[in-house]
Amino acid sequence: MSYQPPPTGYPQYPQYPPYPQKRERPFGVAIIAVLEALDGILYLLIGIFMIVGGIAFASIIMKWINAPITVFGTGMILIGVVGGVLIIFGIIALIMAKGLWDGKGWAWTITLILNIIGLIFGIISLIFTRSGGGIIPLLINVIIIYYLTRPHVKAFFGKGGYVQPPPPPPPPQRGYPQY
């Protein structure tokens, strides 16, 4: 006797479960996300230091030399603006790190775009400066671009690529279930 499917009216079980499969984070993605988080923390700290340190430095100098605020005002405003921009970059970098860690597609896209821009600027820098100092950042950009375009990494971010389907369900049992 061969296997007969259950008659209509009985519950039908799909071949693959309807719930989403747990995706395993590739190790390289974890490294990139951690480095991005460290980058964001560094930007935040430098930005805060520039704002707080700039204000403190300006007040000390102005009291020391009895200079009016207009002498140092422009420089301190510029330091404050740069510090504020660095704080914004730090917050964005932390959001990017979280997106990379969680496998969000937007984080993959933005990281790929930023590394392509970094690659272009690195090539321009090598051409015009004729120094070897920009080779290491250039190589890092190339490695990250290459890694992010690997099929298993793209699949982690939901950007296509190779996704291994779950194994098929076991064949039906004949007879009584075994406990």
Instruction: Tell me the pLDDT of the chain (179 aa) as tens digits.
Output: 566 666 666 555 555 544 455 678 999 999 999 999 999 999 999 999 988 887 777 777 767 776 666 656 677 778 888 999 999 999 999 999 999 999 999 999 999 999 999 899 888 888 888 777 778 888 999 999 999 999 889 989 988 755 566 677 777 767 666 65
Residue where a domain terminates, one of 102, 125, 146: 102
Asked whether residue 109 is assigned to any structural domain, the reply reads yes
Is 44 within 8 Å of 98 (Cβ atoms)? no
Q: How far apart are CA 104 and CA 64, in angstroms?
A: 52
Q: Cα 128 to chain center, whole Å?
A: 30
What's the whole-model pTM score?
A: 0.69
Question: 15-35 b/e with 16+ CB inside 10 Å = b?
Answer: eeeeeeeeeeebeebeebbee
Query: Does one domain contain both 80 and 119?
Result: no
Q: How far apart are CA 27 and CA 160, in angstroms?
A: 19
Query: Does one domain contain both 38 and 98?
Result: yes
Asked whether residue 8 is assigned to any structural domain, the reply reads no
Is 30 within 8 Å of 107 (Cβ atoms)? no
Query: Does one domain contain both 92 and 149?
Result: no
SS3 content of the chain, % helix, strand, coil (to 5): 70, 0, 30
Q: Which token pair is 109?
A: 């896209």
Question: How many CB atoms sit inside 10 A of residue 147's CB?
Answer: 15
Helix axes 105-129 and 135-148, enclosed angle (nearest 10)? 150
Task: Give the domain range for residue 143.
Answer: 103-159
Is 103 within 8 Å of 84 (Cβ atoms)? no
Asked whether residue 7 is assigned to any structural domain, the reply reads no
